[in-house]
Amino acid sequence: MSTADPELVRVAVLAPVRGLFTYAVPAALSSGVRPGRRVGVPFGRRRLAGFVVDRIAAAPQGVVPKDVLEVLDEAPLLPESLFRFLLWTADYYLHPPGEVIKAALPAALANPPALRRKVRAEATVLEAPRPLTPEQGVAAATVSEAVGAGCFQSFLLHGVTGSGKTEVYLHAIERTLALGRGAIVLVPEIGLTPQLERRFRGRFGREVAVLHSGTSRGERAREWRRLRNGEARVAIGVRAAVFAPVEPLGLIVVDEEHDPSFKQEDRLCYHARDMAVARAKFASCPVLLGSATPSLESLSNVEAGRYRKLELRSRIDDRQLPPVDLIDLSGADRALLHEPLLRALGETLGRGEQAILFLNRRGHAGSLACRACGHVEGCPDCSVSLTQHLARRRLLCHYCGLSRPIPERCPVCGAPLVPLGAGTEKVEEEVARLFPAARVARLDSDVGAAAIASTLRAFRGQEVDVLVGTQVVAKGHDFPNVTLVGVVLADTGLALPDFRASERSFQILVQVAGRAGRGDRAGRVLVQTYHPAHPALVHAARHDYAAFASEELHRRRALGWPPYSRLCAVRVDGKSPVSTEQAARRLGAVAAERIRQSRLRAAVLGPAPAPIERLRGRSRWQLLLRATNHAAVRSLAIELQEAADDVGPVRVVFDMDPVSML
């Protein structure tokens, strides 16, 4: 390079474009244009922000670099190890690097000028750490030791419901702060578990910064800055908090690590649990994954020696896990609540105790159908039936949000329409009708965030006797006066076309059962089902995680599903059913050809129409790339990504390690 040659850098532009772009550095900006710095660059006819990735000696063939226009920050906006981790994430998920960096920045910073909000003062009560039980003590000491050592290590904390996992997290974080480092705590849905947030604030006060979607843009930007400048050192939040600017990072905790909400299904399709492990590696710190029902992926990582397992086998104060009885509905009448559950509910209320009734379907009826001609009211834009919501007097599509009045008669033949299948609204109504003296409340995503918080508060304060709800009620809540949990129908998720259907059903049953008997009085659980012999139910009823896992792993191995293989879902969607199918078939053919040529030990499953074939007016097809290791899936996906650029008027999304199969 002659002295006249300008210095060259590669920039990740904050725009949905693959790859890095080369720019020249004017001499005047030379000192500020360093890796990790945010700069302004010309992009097409626009001026965009981007991050400098590295310097290079020569521009790629045929590229005439334009000049960097300005340096936007005096100090790097992102900590260095976080920046490198984000570039790695982009690479892993085959996603534009600028888009990944954007996901890590509060919107206000990704799109300057930044908003500024007034800092709201928070009252904090500090409730003192508790003496740990011997099991908790061993777990906390082991993790604390790893924190002290300051090197990467993954732990799986398998603790039964009510065993006090949170207290272990709190202790390990205390140790982390004492060493002058910070921590990230990922939780599935913090809005649904305000109690957890209170416990962290109670212990760490203003050191806590909360990052979740419920907070305003400005507030999120404020919390982000408090973390970035070290005012706060404990970031608690939902999946995106894995990108929180905590530096130096001493520990990452993932609570309820099995929860599917850690997977983002749109834009950057990432799994926050997996990224937590990767980030810990970048930051050279331990990561602690906790659950009563660990994902089979994590369990197999333990078996392969990659994760170290820590166990809490008993509940606090040696309380018993509640006995679970399965109630066989085959041959039963069409009632919603059957005799054993009704009796138990009556007894529970009679003793002044509380109950939770769980049904994983919101609304009043699952669908509205015509008895005469069989017509089912469906969504015109999605291939699903509409759900009847009596409280709002509407039929709603649970996928696209379409809302229409409830028709009186069948639009095809004019006969009356009848509701099929019940939802939480109907359960609430039934309980109120059968137990007029009981105070009943409902908790599901039809209830707004504010109402969820106030309902949880009322239930905790024992102003509500029976709480009816969807999975929201199964989250980590700790209500000591709940002695009965009733599952209205355990079968809703069993038949989904998803290889994890059984695992999900098991997890959710164990979790919801775990809400009973957490206080001084023993609890019990009644589960209504048409499949009392299903392994997921049988093992959940015995709280037998080990037996379920070994049986399910056996099945997965036989069928070649994860954790015994790696997948990448290739989703194709478009306005026209014909061109969508054509594009999917074309990609399938390219993949098959590539496998043949290279003798890759990989397979392509499909293409096939997605189980939900139409969504928001678009046709959907998918194929699955499957291999025994990530590298093989990845190399196949990269080739398909090239091919996908010109397969027609469709959108193609690559979802590495997919979770949703619908």
* Both structure tokens of 504: 């999900």
Q: How far is the CB of 443 from Zn ion (least distance, A)?
A: 24
Reported as half-sphere exposure (CB side, CA atoms, 13 A), residue 574 has a value of 19
Residue 51 · residue 11 · CB < 8 Å:
yes
Decide whether 399 or 530 has the Cβ nearer to Zn ion: 399
Which partner in ligand ADP, Zn ion, none is near 136 (CB below 5 to 8 A by kind)?
A: ligand ADP
286 makes contact with ligand ADP (CB under 6 A): no
- Give the residue, chosen from 142, 144, 166, 291, that forms a contact with ligand ADP under the rule CB under 6 A: 166
Using CA atoms, how far apart are residues 256 and 270, in angstroms rounded to an integer? 17
Q: Annotate each residue in 224-253 with x if it binds ligand ADP (CB under 6 A) or - if it does not, as one string.
A: ------------------------------
Decide whether 139 or 410 has the Cβ nearer to ligand ADP: 139
Decide whether 86 or 253 has the Cβ nearer to ligand ADP: 253
357 makes contact with Zn ion (CB under 5 A): no
478 makes contact with ligand ADP (CB under 6 A): yes
- Give the residue, chosen from 142, 153, 154, 163, that forms a contact with ligand ADP under the rule CB under 6 A: 163
402 makes contact with Zn ion (CB under 5 A): yes
Contacts for 341 with CB less than 8 Å, ≥ 6 apart: 327, 486, 526, 528
- Give the residue, chosen from 36, 96, 97, 162, that forms a contact with ligand ADP under the rule CB under 6 A: 162
294 makes contact with ligand ADP (CB under 6 A): no
Which partner in Zn ion, ligand ADP, none is near 379 (CB below 5 to 8 A by kind)?
A: Zn ion
Decide whether 402 or 453 has the Cβ nearer to Zn ion: 402
Contacts for 5 with CB less than 8 Å, ≥ 6 apart: none
Residue with tokens 């070994």: 550
Decide whether 127 or 145 has the Cβ nearer to ligand ADP: 127
Using CA atoms, how far apart are residues 46 and 345, in angstroms rounded to an integer? 64
132 makes contact with ligand ADP (CB under 6 A): yes
66 makes contact with ligand ADP (CB under 6 A): no
Which partner in Zn ion, ligand ADP, none is near 557 (CB below 5 to 8 A by kind)?
A: none
Handedness of CA 371, 375, 377, 382 (dihedral sign): positive
Decide whether 397 or 541 has the Cβ nearer to Zn ion: 397
Q: Could you tell me which of 617, 552, 550, 544 has the C-alpha nearest to residue 580?
A: 617
Q: Is 440 exposed, middle or buried (0-12, 13-18, 19+ CB in 10 A)?
A: buried
Q: How far is the CB of 158 from ligand ADP (least distance, A)?
A: 10
Residue 388 · residue 395 · CB < 8 Å:
yes
89 makes contact with ligand ADP (CB under 6 A): no
Bridge partners, residue 448, by sequence? none
Q: How far is the CB of 613 from Zn ion (least distance, A)?
A: 12
Helices (H) and strands (E) in the chain, counts: 17, 28
- Give the residue, chosen from 234, 369, 382, 595, that forms a contact with Zn ion under the rule CB under 5 A: 382
* Both structure tokens of 59: 């521009």
CB atoms within 10 A of CB 611: 15
400 makes contact with Zn ion (CB under 5 A): yes
Q: Is 272 exposed, middle or buried (0-12, 13-18, 19+ CB in 10 A)?
A: buried
Total residues at interface with Zn ion (CB under 5 A): 7
**What's the Cα-to-Cα distance from 579 to each of 374, 622, 648, rounded to whole Å?**
31, 13, 7
Contacts for 479 with CB less than 8 Å, ≥ 6 apart: 354, 356, 459, 460, 515, 518, 519
* Both structure tokens of 242: 């894995």
Phi-psi region of 117 (alpha: psi -120 to 50; beta: other; left: phi over 0): beta
Stretch that binds ligand ADP, among 154-162, 398-406, 504-512, 546-554 (CB under 6 A): 154-162
164 makes contact with ligand ADP (CB under 6 A): yes
Which partner in ligand ADP, Zn ion, none is near 65 (CB below 5 to 8 A by kind)?
A: none
Which partner in ligand ADP, Zn ion, none is near 164 (CB below 5 to 8 A by kind)?
A: ligand ADP
Which partner in ligand ADP, Zn ion, none is near 397 (CB below 5 to 8 A by kind)?
A: Zn ion
Residue 576 · residue 619 · CB < 8 Å:
yes
395 makes contact with Zn ion (CB under 5 A): no
Which partner in ligand ADP, Zn ion, none is near 115 (CB below 5 to 8 A by kind)?
A: none
Which partner in ligand ADP, Zn ion, none is near 161 (CB below 5 to 8 A by kind)?
A: ligand ADP
Phi-psi region of 462 (alpha: psi -120 to 50; beta: other; left: phi over 0): left
- Give the residue, chosen from 316, 400, 453, 605, that forms a contact with ligand ADP under the rule CB under 6 A: 316
Radius of gyration of the CA atoms of the chain, in A: 27
Stretch that binds ligand ADP, among 98-106, 117-125, 157-165, 300-308 (CB under 6 A): 157-165
Decide whether 79 or 188 has the Cβ nearer to ligand ADP: 188
Which partner in ligand ADP, Zn ion, none is near 465 (CB below 5 to 8 A by kind)?
A: none
Q: Could you tell me which of 60, 57, 23 has the C-alpha nearest to residue 41?
A: 23
523 makes contact with ligand ADP (CB under 6 A): no
Q: How far is the CB of 259 from ligand ADP (least distance, A)?
A: 13
- Give the residue, chosen from 89, 136, 144, 367, that forms a contact with ligand ADP under the rule CB under 6 A: 136
Q: Which residues of 287-311 are buried (b: 16+ CB within 10 A; e: fewer)?
A: bbbbbbbbbbbbbbbbeeeebbebe
Using CA atoms, how far apart are residues 446 and 457, in angstroms rounded to an integer? 18
Can the peptide bond before residue 380 be classed as cis, meaning omega within 30 degrees of 0? no
Using CA atoms, how far apart are residues 489 and 541, in angstroms rounded to an integer? 14
Q: Which residue type does 108 have?
A: A
Which partner in ligand ADP, Zn ion, none is near 382 (CB below 5 to 8 A by kind)?
A: Zn ion
Using CA atoms, how far apart are residues 465 and 463, in angstroms rounded to an integer? 7
Which partner in Zn ion, ligand ADP, none is near 400 (CB below 5 to 8 A by kind)?
A: Zn ion
Stretch that binds ligand ADP, among 80-88, 158-166, 321-329, 423-431 (CB under 6 A): 158-166
Stretch that binds ligand ADP, among 6-14, 32-40, 125-133, 413-421 (CB under 6 A): 125-133
Instruction: State the DSSP H helix or E strand holding residue 619, giving kind and residue range, or none if neither.
Output: strand 618-627
188 makes contact with ligand ADP (CB under 6 A): no
Give a three-class secondary structure readout of 172-183: HHHHHHHCCCEE
Total residues at interface with ligand ADP (CB under 6 A): 16
Q: How far is the CB of 159 from ligand ADP (least distance, A)?
A: 5
The residues binding Zn ion (CB under 5 A) are 379, 381-382, 397, 399-400, 402
- Interacting residues toward ligand ADP by CB under 6 A: 130-133, 136, 159, 161-167, 316, 476, 478
